[in-house]
Structure 1
Amino acid sequence: MNSSPDTSPLLPILYQSADLVAINKPHGLLVHRSPIASDASEFAVQILRDQLGQRVYPVHRLDRKTGGVLLFALTDSMNSLMQQQFMEGGIDKSYLAIVRGFTPDEQTIDYALRNDETGVFQDAVTYFKTVQRTEIPLPFGKHVTSRYSLVELTPTTGRMHQLRKHMAHILHPIIGDRPHGCNKQNKLFKEHFEMSTMLLHARQLEFTHPVTEERISITAPFQAEFERMLGALFGVDDSPIY
């Protein structure tokens, strides 16, 4: 990540056209100002606006603690077109996460979630497949070892905190997740690895450009802390970094 002495660090740009731009959002950065995160002073919208010297419109959102592909429109009309495509399910998203325990080879989680803002339950579906499993000699509770899985997650709906809630629902919470995850595991990672990042990475975003009709695929490389934990848990040589 580049930086200048007088401004916020520049956001890594993964894709840019006349009307769209995608960044690799760092873990811990809010997309925009929020009343529930009054401690934050920097936001992706403002940083990217200043970086590009023009207004930007986030066409979707990522949790503060999630890193990876984040797409912005550069015009109001493109924002409307992309919002429509998201609502119609025309956007394919995939994530990678490190979770507690050994997950099944693959599974579809079809479990309705309560909207935190409205209280209404909404249909929510997530498909995942296990990329790799590991068992390390790190005692936890009554166990002399600890087990973890790297999973690829593909949501077919876009509910708030869907991936976090779904993985917690099947008792394989994402490491570093609060409040849906396992606080004892989070404490273990903080004490043993000095790690407090949520290990959820928005890996890829695919969509059809509304104007050119070109199929666009944008992939975000892992950020340093996620990559460090891949090495620590799965081994540098064996880590499926693709």
Structure 2
Amino acid sequence: MSEETSEKLEIIYQDQWLVAVNKPSGLLVHRSMIDRNETRFALQIVRNQVGQHVYPLHRLDKPTSGVLLFALSPDIARLAGKQFEEGAVKKTYLAVVRGYAPESGEIDHPLKEELDKMTDRKARQNKPAQEAITTFERLATVELPLAIERYPSSRYSLVRVWPKTGRKHQIRRHMKHIAHPIIGDAKHGKGVHNRYFAEHFSAGRLLLACTEMELIHPVSNERLVLSAPLDDVFSDLMSRFGWADSLLRKSS
């Protein structure tokens, strides 16, 4: 049996209309010209796993882990997709960022669309910035006695984040905008911190995970809350930094 047909993802919810999985960091949702050499895709793995076509309702960046929801028919995809289009789906993320982030806040900073040179060659190049809003709260901090940059110690925060809009790389770009980039972000972060976490904590991934998604079930109309546990890399950092208890803190 080939790797493509034998690989399985953790299913966190399934009924006759929807299936949700815990997508690992480093896995594309579907085939993309951006990663032409990639051979593994969540869509194909889940399709093979459940034995039928699946239809992604949203996207997660390749390096981001967590809740990934699929519809099991085009009709359900249209029904559920409206909630995503209207911003009615509440997504909760955890991130490890550089520095001591503010206790809480809202980032209201419009974002210009990030265009890929290869896949967006025909896209309009001068589109105005789009509304982008992200709220967050700081759950915990740690100070390491290490001079990674010019300071004698290095500070980091665990933050819980809620994107109110769905722009490309919104959380990553917004955290950079307030000078607290996410650890492991090769494009918007700081390489020296990313390398330190990879080399000393075996944390070479983007430290951003969609841990919860809340929506109305498109058929039953009941509130549906999907939760995805953190992977071993993220969990090990929670223990190492003494942050495990902070995850029990209720959202403000």
Instruction: Judge which range, 42-51 or 31-40, deviates more.
Output: 31-40
Amino acid at match of 2:74: D
2:174 paired with 1:187: no
2:239 paired with 1:231: yes
Amino acid at match of 2:146: L
Q: Percent identity?
A: 46
Match in the other structure for 2:180: 172
Instruction: Judge which range, 218-227 or 183-192, deviates more.
Output: 183-192
Match in the other structure for 1:65: 63
2:210 paired with 1:212: no
Match in the other structure for 1:240: 246
Report the Cα distance in structure 2 between the residues aligned to 1:17 and 1:164, rounded to whole angstroms: 32
Report the Cα distance in structure 2 between the residues aligned to 1:116 and 1:175, rounded to whole angstroms: 20
Amino acid at match of 2:234: F
Report the Cα distance in structure 2 between the residues aligned to 1:47 and 1:191, rounded to whole angstroms: 30
Pairwise CA distance, 1:81: 1.0
How many pairs align? 238
Instruction: Judge which range, 159-168 or 136-145, deviates more.
Output: 136-145
- TM-score normalised by the chain length of structure 1: 0.93
Listed one character per residue, the Cα deviations across residues 27-78 of structure 1 (whole Å, up to 9, x for unaligned) are 1000000101123110000000000110000000000000000000000000
Match in the other structure for 1:202: 210
Match of 2:105 among 104, 107, 128: 107
Match in the other structure for 1:127: 135
Match of 1:28 among 26, 29, 37: 26
Checking the alignment, whether the CA contact within 8 Å between 1:96 and 1:151 is kept in structure 2 is yes
Match in the other structure for 2:151: 143
Checking the alignment, whether the CA contact within 8 Å between 1:231 and 1:239 is kept in structure 2 is no
Amino acid at match of 1:39: N
Report the Cα distance in structure 2 between the residues aligned to 1:24 and 1:130, rounded to whole angstroms: 24
Checking the alignment, whether the CA contact within 8 Å between 2:65 and 2:210 is kept in structure 1 is yes
Pairwise CA distance, 1:239: 4.3
Pairwise CA distance, 1:201: 0.6
RMSD: 1.8
Q: Secondary structure at the match of 1:211?
A: coil
Pairwise CA distance, 1:136: 1.6
Match in the other structure for 2:161: 153
Amino acid at match of 2:130: Q
Distance 1:116 1:6, change over 3 A: closer
Match in the other structure for 1:14: 12
Report the Cα distance in structure 2 between the residues aligned to 1:51 and 1:106, rounded to whole angstroms: 40
2:124 paired with 1:116: no
Report the Cα distance in structure 2 between the residues aligned to 1:160 and 1:6, rounded to whole angstroms: 28
Report the Cα distance in structure 1 between the residues aligned to 2:174 and 2:235, rounded to whole angstroms: 23
Q: Secondary structure at the match of 1:235?
A: coil
